[in-house]
């Protein structure tokens, strides 16, 4: 077969063979070899027990770990002369038995490579390459499925998914990562067994969703997730976007619009040195969830119009609840929800250009999310009206130019009032407390409205504002 095998894999195969053990490269690395895709993490299985092959790995690698020892897995790392790293994990041949109420298998050691391959999730991952002699092993015709770009289970899919329901999530994730389709009998089994996913931990589901969203084809994965029925359980806000369209089509299909926004947002990601390096999970999740508040806020107004008032705020609340349930990182949750709540902020600029004060506020309040928000906003403009699209794009270009110009003149990210808290207390003869906070906020608003001013002007503004307050309530 036409592929070039990692020299480290062949070397390990020789070391195992010298001790009388079988070793085979398995799973993703074999699949990636056939697809000519790069891979630096190599998975092997062996006839040896962990205590037998541990000395081999320790001798071979510059690093060693044994967190998977109870599952028969040990790992090692080697640094190449060019600075790159190769990570390997070696697992004793296994045959798994499952408790139907648990995601976790009970591991029994197996006695053959073919038996080990039978417990793999899909045929394209159930291929092996014996090393060092490079004998290709493919008992379930995985190479044929790989050529057809089809995902199929090695055994009956109902048994496979009953044994390990997470495999259903892995199926839609591989649709996104590889651009494959799910075989009809496998897809039918997923649809019939979606309720089994409820025994899988939130963290496991989150990890599969993350891999899906960071893949090359996330929209295909999202569609598969929804079509399978899995999304109804793990991310129900997304299939809920499939709103029934009224006969006069007074609003666009929200689900199809969302998929388009995800694609457009991905296209606006940048290279590694840009402001939003690809792939960006925060931007992609915000694009996926930005309109999930629409089903709850849809109203049919007089005159035949349809409205979704405050769907940005409602969507942010729904997104926060869902992402927390999936145990996403709280910083990522905050950023995604802020992007959703702000994704309509720019629209007023198209109708009436903002003052410099408003531009300063936009740049400062969006802060580190500024670049992502602009990309989400551009991606969300999916109108087919070429004139409207051009007007919107030109307005966004203009806003970004104005922000860039103001950034050159002022440090917008670090804007502070022209008077600090200590100066405010001294000028107004105040002690620390709420009055100082209100005065500080006023001076910050004044700074955003007027730009930087000299000390004398700032002090006069503070005194004028103070005199205008009801000092008993100030």
CA distances from 265 to 19, 151, 177, 231, 281 (A): 53, 28, 18, 21, 11
Contacts of 407 (CB under 8 A, 6+ apart): 363
* CB 438, CB 473: distance < 8 Å: no
List average pLDDT for each run of 10 residues in the chain, which is 474 residues long: 79 96 95 86 95 95 90 92 90 74 65 91 96 95 96 95 95 95 97 96 97 96 97 96 61 85 97 94 98 92 85 97 98 98 90 85 88 96 90 93 84 71 86 86 80 84 84 46
Q: What is the pLDDT of residue 184?
A: 97
Q: What is the pLDDT of residue 427?
A: 87
CA distances from 32 to 40, 133, 167, 178, 406 (A): 10, 19, 19, 10, 48
Handedness of CA 437, 442, 445, 450 (dihedral sign): negative
Q: What is the pLDDT of residue 249?
A: 47
Q: What is the pLDDT of residue 473?
A: 47
Q: What is the pLDDT of residue 367?
A: 86
């Amino acid at each position: 077969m036409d592929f070039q095998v990692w020299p480290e894999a062949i070397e390990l195969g020789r070391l195992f063979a010298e001790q009388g053990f079988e070793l085979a490269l398995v799973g993703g690395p074999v699949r990636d070899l056939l697809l000519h895709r790069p891979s630096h993490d190599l998975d092997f299985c062996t006839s040896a027990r962990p205590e037998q092959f541990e000395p081999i790995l320790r001798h071979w690698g510059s690093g060693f770990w044994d967190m998977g020892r109870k599952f028969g897995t040990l790992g090692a790392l080697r640094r190449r002369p060019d600075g790159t790293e190769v990570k390997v994990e070696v697992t004793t041949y296994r045959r798994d038995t499952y408790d139907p109420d648990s995601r976790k298998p009970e591991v029994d050691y197996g006695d053959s490579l073919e038996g080990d391959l039978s417990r793999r999730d899909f045929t394209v991952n159930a291929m092996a390459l014996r090393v060092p002699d490079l004998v290709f092993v493919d008992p379930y015709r995985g190479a044929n499925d790989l050529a057809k770009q089809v995902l199929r289970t090695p055994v009956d899919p109902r048994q496979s998914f009953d044994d390990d329901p997470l495999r259903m999530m892995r199926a839609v994730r591989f649709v996104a990562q590889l651009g494959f389709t799910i075989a009809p009998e496998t897809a039918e089994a997923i649809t019939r067994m979606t309720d089994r996913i409820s025994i899988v931990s939130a963290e496991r589901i989150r990890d599969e969703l993350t891999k899906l969203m960071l893949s090359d084809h996330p929209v295909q994965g999202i569609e598969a997730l929804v079509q399978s029925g899995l999304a109804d359980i793990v991310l129900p806000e997304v299939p809920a976007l499939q709103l029934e369209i009224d006969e006069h089509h007074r609003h666009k299909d929200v689900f199809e619009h969302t998929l388009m926004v995800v694609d457009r947002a991905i296209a606006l990601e940048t290279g590694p040195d840009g402001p939003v390096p690809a792939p960006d999970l925060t931007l992609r999740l915000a694009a996926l969830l930005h309109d999930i508040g629409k089903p709850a806020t849809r109203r049919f107004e007089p005159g035949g119009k349809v409205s979704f008032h405050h769907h940005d705020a409602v969507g942010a609340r729904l997104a926060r609840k869902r992402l927390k349930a999936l145990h996403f990182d709280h910083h990522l949750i905050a950023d995604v929800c802020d992007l959703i709540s702000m994704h309509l902020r720019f629209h007023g600029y198209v109708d009436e250009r903002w003052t410099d004060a408003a531009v300063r506020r936009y740049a400062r309040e969006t802060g580190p999310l500024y670049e992502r928000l602009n990309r989400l906003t551009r991606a969300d403009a999916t109108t087919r009206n070429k004139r409207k699209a051009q007007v919107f794009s030109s307005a966004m270009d203009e806003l970004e130019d104005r922000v860039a110009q103001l950034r050159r003149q002022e440090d917008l990210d670090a804007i502070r009032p022209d008077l600090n808290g200590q100066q405010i207390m001294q000028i107004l003869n105040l002690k620390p407390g709420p009055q100082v906070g209100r005065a500080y906020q006023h001076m910050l608003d004044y700074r955003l409205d007027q730009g930087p001013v000299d000390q004398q002007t700032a002090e006069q503004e503070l005194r004028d504002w103070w005199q205008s307050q009801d000092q008993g309530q100030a």
